[in-house]
Structure 1
Amino acid sequence: MTFADLGLSDELLRAVTEAGYDTPTPIQAQAIPSVLMMRDIIGIAQTGTGKTASFVLPMIDILAHGRSRARMPRSLILEPTRELAAQVAENFEKYGKYHKLSMALLIGGVSMGDQLAALEKGVDVLIATPGRLMDLFGRGKIMLNGCSLLVIDEADRMLDMGFIPDIEEICTKLPAQRQTLLFSATMPPVIKKLADKFLSNPKSIEVARPASASTNITQRLVKVDARKKRDTLSKMLREADVTSAVIFCNRKTTVRDLNKSLQRDGFKSGEIHGDIDQGSRIAELERFRAGTVNILVASDVAARGLDIKGVSHVFNYDAPWHPDDYVHRIGRTGRAGASGVAYTFVTEADAEAIDNIQKLIGTKIEIVGAAEAIASAEPTAETAPKTPRGRKPRAAKPAAQAPVADEPVAEKPSPARRSRAQKPREEAAASPAAAPRAAEAPARQRRNDHQDDGPDEGWNGPVPEFLNFGFDA
């Protein structure tokens, strides 16, 4: 099957072809025709499968007919974070370049005056975060009664971030006769109730079991002593000689310390976490994309935030506290049909976390010892080719399949996760060996560690340069 078989317009097919794609992913092949037929959709697919294009492409053709009015957007896309909204906007810009459509972003961290000016001109597509949208609606600056198409994207993360009440209120402001598309990587009961309440006879599309990991990713658990994590990681990186890798840590302090350690060992590494300012984050990501650095050490703020082709390996330096994060972490590799390898370091304290992960994905992950993992770290023929560590890695050639855009998302840990996050620290504090070290540490240092040692609260994200662009005639 090709995109030409899905009923898209010639102009849209031309844009998709120029972007280098000809074969839709399963979620796109099933969703696009139904969206074009104006049906409500519940789309469940794992990260990296092209959910974004599955609603962006048909929306462009649907909105090609009609006219926008001031302060009355014709369609609305709700996103949990501004980074995700910015990437959806990039998709509209890329695939809608032959259509006369206007678009605006309504997100935090940006001048409200510029956004109001864009709305006054009238927009076909409004991409918004719930908080900013409700703010402007409450001020009477926007009307939603002309919106005939609603997309709720990353609904499960909306739930985690506490946006469900806002979404329910937004839905009551929209016309009763509208088309609603709901996309999510998982389908918790609360999201199911939301769908039952606001969608009309929806078609359910599930291309992978909820919260499942891609079959393209080889998963391994590596049993390791907590004190030997860094040595084991360095040895595995040397043996595998990875093309590019993302290493996930649970704490910002661990990200910083591990990155410095890798740099001292001669690796070309960088870091991403919530304490880095916006400009530095985007610069670091560009360095990673360009291959200037081929190892990126990151906290969970980047678990859904990296859409970079050719990532051959993912290392969970720390086992994630929340099982959903495991799926999204390893989803940074094995994208768009490529193969990837994901290693998770496991210590004695991680037994409960690993149990929860395996229950979620419904499969047992193979356990190997550190020595065995080092010996078998060499990539297979299916993974990215070897690149000598002293040379600049060559970027992997993107697979000419479907447009896949996975979106970054900021995460606010739930109370349960915070409780889980505190557990390792409480156990460490209770240990007899920890008391002398804690007593010797300066008070100021202890205070800083306490402030910095928790889970990353979220990614404020880079401010995109295309905040008020539209499609030129």
Structure 2
Amino acid sequence: MSKFEDLGVAKWLAESLNAMKIYTPTTIQATCIPKILKGHDCIGGAKTGSGKTIAFGAPMLTEWSQDPMGIFGVVLTPTRELALQIAEQFHALGSSMNIRVSVIVGGEDIITQALELQKKPHFIIATPGRLADHIINSGEDTICGLRRVKYLVLDEADRLLSNSFSKDLEKCFDILPKSDKRRTLLFTATVTDAVRALKDRPVPKGKLPVYINEVDTIDKVAIPSTLNVNYIFIPSYVKEAYLHNILTLSQYKDANVIIFVNRTHTAEVLRRTLRKLELRVASLHSEMPQLERTSSLHRFKANAARILIATDVASRGLDIPTVELVINYDIPADPDDYIHRVGRTARAGRKGDALSVVTEKDVERILSIEERINKKMDLLELVDDDKIIKESLKVTSSAKREALMDMDREGFGEKKLNNKRKHASREELKNKSKISKLNKNSKNS
């Protein structure tokens, strides 16, 4: 028997894992899989790159293969890219069993998705917003299979349980079986108080207590020991020149790099600027059509682009083993977001570098991050200020100027601005309607 079979995983699935060269369970897999198979709900906390998808996927697939009928499980996750990655893993693991997996995310044709749901795929991997859309608008024939699912998984649970997803989650929970009729699994790299509090809820009669595993959480090991954390301290008006210099350093000129920014506008400016400087670059942010987002990610994974510029849509869960360097071009406000970002490298025991571009405005944020990760960042000594002035400053300034002119000419950001205006107009109409009703009621009384 393989080590995964010892945990209770089906033989066919253990063989699939072996074919993928996954032989030994990680800590989170070894502790959670047997508990889930015994019937426990589970809260699993483990640092990035520790194999959480297999920790919840293996027991689900094992039980599904015993009776592969209807929609067996729903996995909810915060980003489209993460949904696609989880679906790829489910397809790979279940290929020998003719598994049917549907990805239900925004940016794709909703009618095509509705037809897929009507065919009752074995597993649905979805973002809460798009699944809620189907629940509200697609009719009973489309969503009836959701009423009988055996498993619900919240991946990146800390993010899903934040206020930004609460309304959509409520819609999803309304149609799914009640908690005593399904198995609920929560997995995250950040076990927040909101996640931890779920284990204290009353256990329905006949159910086993919630199993919580925090052996390997980032609260105890914030970042891997194989990750080098560095910083450079520079004036904010020369960030592009320093970035160009870093990307062309001898040790990074061929490296696969993810550059994180805080705003979509910054991502687009950098993409265009670096492309004009003849670097192979792609971007990933919320203002891109879904087809372009998927294409960018595939290009980066295939090394057609060696640099990916991304907002936090790429900060969670994405597993791209070739990433050697993560650059925080903009420093995140939340230290946990820093941990998720740098977790894109130094995964599964590999080495990696993380570099923060610190300006005069970022000092407090850096201090908070250092306190959170319990480690001081080291100054990157490789940057040559004279070389930057001589080789990078003029060319990057010119490339950025051209990029901004192109964006202005093409109207980048206008769609987002129009959507904000429409939303504001709808809110204004709602408020006027409320005021009108209140006035009528007051007159009548």
Query: What interval of TM-score do these two structures reach, taking the shorter chain for normalisation?
Result: 0.7 to 0.9
| Deviation digits for residues 209-258 of structure 1 (CA, Å, limit 9, x no counterpart) | 33822222111122222233333333333132342111222233333333
Q: Is the 8 A contact 2:156 2:316 kept in 1?
A: no
Alignment of 1:348-387 (within 5 A): 348-361=360-373, 363-368=374-379, 372-374=381-383
Residue 325 (structure 2) pairs with residue 313 (structure 1) = yes
Alignment of 1:150-189 (within 5 A): 150-160=152-162, 162-168=164-170, 170-171=172-173, 173-175=176-178, 176-189=180-193
Q: Is the 8 A contact 1:63 1:101 kept in 2?
A: no
Alignment partner, residue 19 of structure 2 = 18
Alignment partner, residue 98 of structure 1 = 96
Alignment partner, residue 245 of structure 2 = 235
Alignment of 1:409-424 (within 5 A): none
Alignment of 1:63-142 (within 5 A): 63-69=64-70, 73-138=71-136, 139-141=139-141, 142=143
| Deviation digits for residues 403-429 of structure 1 (CA, Å, limit 9, x no counterpart) | xxxxxxxxxxxxxxxxxxxxxxxxxxx
Q: Is the 8 A contact 2:75 2:124 kept in 1?
A: yes
Q: Structure 1 81/252 Cα, relative in aligned 2: closer, same or farther at 3 Å?
A: closer
Q: Is the 8 A contact 1:252 1:452 kept in 2?
A: no
Alignment partner, residue 205 of structure 1 = 213
* Partner Cα distance (1:9, 1:263) in 2: 48
Q: What is the deviation of 1:152?
A: 1.6
Q: 1:275 aligns with which of 268, 271, 287?
A: 287
> What SS is found at the alignment partner of 1:307?
coil
Q: What is the deviation of 1:112?
A: 4.0
Q: What is the deviation of 1:104?
A: 3.2
Q: Is the 8 A contact 1:78 1:152 kept in 2?
A: yes
* Partner Cα distance (1:78, 1:96) in 2: 19
> What SS is found at the alignment partner of 1:98?
helix
Q: Is the 8 A contact 1:224 1:345 kept in 2?
A: yes
* Partner Cα distance (1:218, 1:181) in 2: 33
Q: Structure 1 252/177 Cα, relative in aligned 2: closer, same or farther at 3 Å?
A: closer
Residue 335 (structure 2) pairs with residue 333 (structure 1) = no
Tell me which moved more, 33-42 or 167-176.
167-176
* Partner Cα distance (1:333, 1:364) in 2: 17
* Partner Cα distance (1:254, 1:119) in 2: 37
| Deviation digits for residues 154-177 of structure 1 (CA, Å, limit 9, x no counterpart) | 111113462235435644641423
Q: Structure 1 306/170 Cα, relative in aligned 2: closer, same or farther at 3 Å?
A: closer
* Partner Cα distance (1:280, 1:104) in 2: 20
Unmatched runs of 5 consecutive residues or more in structure 2: 385-403, 421-445
The AA in structure 1 aligned to 2:81 is E
Q: Is the 8 A contact 2:28 2:51 kept in 1?
A: yes
Q: Structure 1 171/58 Cα, relative in aligned 2: closer, same or farther at 3 Å?
A: same
Alignment of 1:431-450 (within 5 A): none
Q: Is the 8 A contact 1:253 1:453 kept in 2?
A: no
> What SS is found at the alignment partner of 1:222?
strand
Q: Structure 1 364/453 Cα, relative in aligned 2: closer, same or farther at 3 Å?
A: farther
Q: 2:303 aligns with which of 285, 288, 291?
A: 291
> What SS is found at the alignment partner of 2:355?
strand
Q: Is the 8 A contact 1:255 1:273 kept in 2?
A: yes
Q: Structure 1 198/186 Cα, relative in aligned 2: closer, same or farther at 3 Å?
A: farther
Q: Structure 1 62/198 Cα, relative in aligned 2: closer, same or farther at 3 Å?
A: farther
* Partner Cα distance (1:450, 1:64) in 2: 47
> What SS is found at the alignment partner of 2:12?
helix
Aligned-residue Cα RMSD (Å) equals 3.3
Q: 1 or 2, which has the higher helix percentage?
A: 2
After TM superposition, the score normalised by the length of structure 1 is 0.71
The AA in structure 1 aligned to 2:58 is L
The AA in structure 1 aligned to 2:161 is L
| Deviation digits for residues 274-300 of structure 1 (CA, Å, limit 9, x no counterpart) | 333333333333332222332222233
The AA in structure 1 aligned to 2:106 is G
| Deviation digits for residues 342-382 of structure 1 (CA, Å, limit 9, x no counterpart) | 01011121022113323333x132241x6x2438xxxxxxx
Q: What is the deviation of 1:94?
A: 0.6
* Partner Cα distance (2:168, 2:415) in 1: 30
The AA in structure 1 aligned to 2:97 is H
Alignment partner, residue 387 of structure 2 = none
Tell me which moved more, 35-44 or 272-281.
272-281
The AA in structure 1 aligned to 2:312 is D
Alignment of 1:186-197 (within 5 A): 186-197=190-201
Q: Structure 1 245/132 Cα, relative in aligned 2: closer, same or farther at 3 Å?
A: closer
Q: How many residues align?
A: 382
Alignment partner, residue 28 of structure 2 = 27
Q: Is the 8 A contact 2:85 2:318 kept in 1?
A: no
Alignment partner, residue 401 of structure 1 = none
The AA in structure 1 aligned to 2:211 is K
Q: What is the deviation of 1:62?
A: 0.8
Alignment partner, residue 60 of structure 1 = 61
> What SS is found at the alignment partner of 2:39?
coil
> What SS is found at the alignment partner of 1:221?
strand
The AA in structure 2 aligned to 1:202 is V
Alignment partner, residue 214 of structure 1 = 224
Alignment partner, residue 416 of structure 1 = none
Tell me which moved more, 107-116 or 286-295.
107-116
Query: Among the aligned pairs, what percent are the same residue?
Result: 35
Alignment partner, residue 390 of structure 2 = none
The AA in structure 1 aligned to 2:316 is R
